[in-house]
Structure 1
Amino acid sequence: MNEEQFVQALKEQGIELNEKQIAQFAKYFELLVEWNEKMNLTAITDAPSVYLKHFYDSISAAFYIDLSGQKTICDVGAGAGFPSIPLKICFPELDVTIVDSLNKRIGFLGTLAEELQLTNVHFVHARAEDFGQNLLYREKFDIVTARAVARLSVLAELCVPLVKLGGIFISMKGAAADDELADAKKSLSILGAIIKEEHSFKLPIENSERNIFVFDKEKKTPKKYPRKPGVPNKTPIQ
């Protein structure tokens, strides 16, 4: 997917990029490749794949969920900024918080935000489990999302505690997502979330399967969650 195809594909989904936004994505690609030579940000570095598998894929949540307006969004384990930075470029009014456990990645993201002239983007160096217990952030966000971080049963424990009552948790998954959803049913219920929407689609050009689950936060998360760093991954809620 080249730049022109990217712009056209988003337009077909009702997202029209202006010249500034197109330039921001071009600069994002440039910085991603440049920094990737110094540290491991992504295995995907050719422009057509970055535009399809990172940029377009990240924005796909907005095809189904209204992200316009001044909503707060938290991206857990964003790595090189996916999905939150592409979403921020498309929807500049979003107030974005990114948490990542690797300080070098936070360094890259800080430089990226500066170079792309993004405002209201906050970066926190922390383990997701500790971040979810921090009262500054716990149950404070309209939207919490994560992409390619962990199985849903684990991911739910890291993300749902951050969602405010009435907010949503968006999980972006590839194939075999239904199995993950079935495994995570109990943990989601304990954490206070319920499935609201399921969307399945094929990524253009390569036709790989993608699934987006949207969960409503219906009740407060019990104080014990998330548990200590490493515990959710070793022993998911059963």
Structure 2
Amino acid sequence: MEVIQKYFPGLTDEQINHFSRLKDIYSDWNQQINVISRKDMANFYEHHVLHSLAIGLFIKFSPGTTIIDVGTGGGFPGLPLAIMFPEVNFTLIDSIGKKIKVVKAVAATLHLKNVTALQTRAENYKGQFDFIVSRAVTTLPEFYKQTQHLVSPKQKNAITNGILYLKGGDLTDEINPFKSRISSTRLSDYFDEPFFSTKKILHLSF
């Protein structure tokens, strides 16, 4: 939890309470449904919560912004972002029912009224959002094909509506097809921890 407050010193008491409770809630659920590698629970805040919150350093979402987290898994990056931005509406989707069961339970335990969780595939989902967020569920060109119908043309933020994608490694081949529509920001620009040395946030604007 200290690593969260290191980079986000202005959290409210409620946000600190929510973030502080997250690890225990996930540890309990992980005994029943393995949504996070058990080896990785020791690095829960750095590898999952802080990684998700990189999006909150890249952009401060305007109140009323709508966001869909596609392939949310156990709720990342959507749930940490929902705690960080209580005036933003989040829809978290995944095709695997047991993962959505955990997401719903975590959101209910923390009384997060800005979170909706659904078992569905992006290709089948109808609705439009200001941003799509995700943590590397597939290659970016493939992800774009599956999700492009979900982005609203109406703008209300400082950056253009589109995809905010967290991914690591050499992304040259994935970025090239989008030319000037995409930006890549190294997470090492935000965070000191070695875990983030190869990780990036991609913004594909629509």
Give 1:198 shift: 2.1
AA partner of residue 99 (structure 1): I
Equivalent residue for 2:50? 56
Q: Which runs of 5+ in 2 are unaligned?
A: 156-160
| TM-score normalised by the chain length of structure 2 | 0.87
Conserved 8 A contact 1:76-1:145: yes
**More divergent stretch after superposition (23-32 vs 42-51):** 42-51
Give 1:126 shift: 0.9
Equivalent residue for 1:215? 204
Distance 2:110 2:119 in 1: 21
Per-residue Cα deviation, 1:1-35 (whole angstroms, up to 9, x for no partner): xx223202223xxxx21221111112221111111
Q: Give the SS at the match of 2:204.
A: strand
Distance 2:62 2:183 in 1: 19
Counterpart of 2:107 (choices 100, 103, 113) is 113
1:1-238 matched pairs, under 5 angstroms: 3-11=1-9, 16-43=10-37, 49-131=43-125, 134=126, 137=127, 140-165=128-153, 166=155, 167-182=161-176, 185=177, 195-202=181-188, 203-207=191-195, 208-217=197-206
Conserved 8 A contact 1:177-1:211: no
Give 1:121 shift: 1.2
AA partner of residue 184 (structure 2): E
Distance 1:43 1:71 in 2: 31
Per-residue Cα deviation, 1:92-111 (whole angstroms, up to 9, x for no partner): 01100011101111111111
Q: Which runs of 5+ in 1 are unaligned?
A: 218-238
Per-residue Cα deviation, 1:35-64 (whole angstroms, up to 9, x for no partner): 111112011556551111100110101212
Distance 2:99 2:105 in 1: 10
Distance 1:101 1:151 in 2: 17
Q: Give the SS at the match of 2:143.
A: helix
Conserved 8 A contact 1:195-1:213: no
Per-residue Cα deviation, 1:64-116 (whole angstroms, up to 9, x for no partner): 21213110000001011100110110110110001110111111111111111
| TM-score normalised by the chain length of structure 1 | 0.76
RMSD: 1.9
Superposition misfits of 4+ residues, deviation over 4 angstroms: 44-48
CA radius of gyration, larger in: 1
Aligned residue pairs, count: 197
Structure 1 pair 127–56 and aligned structure 2 pair: CA distance change class (3 A) = same
Q: Percent identity?
A: 28
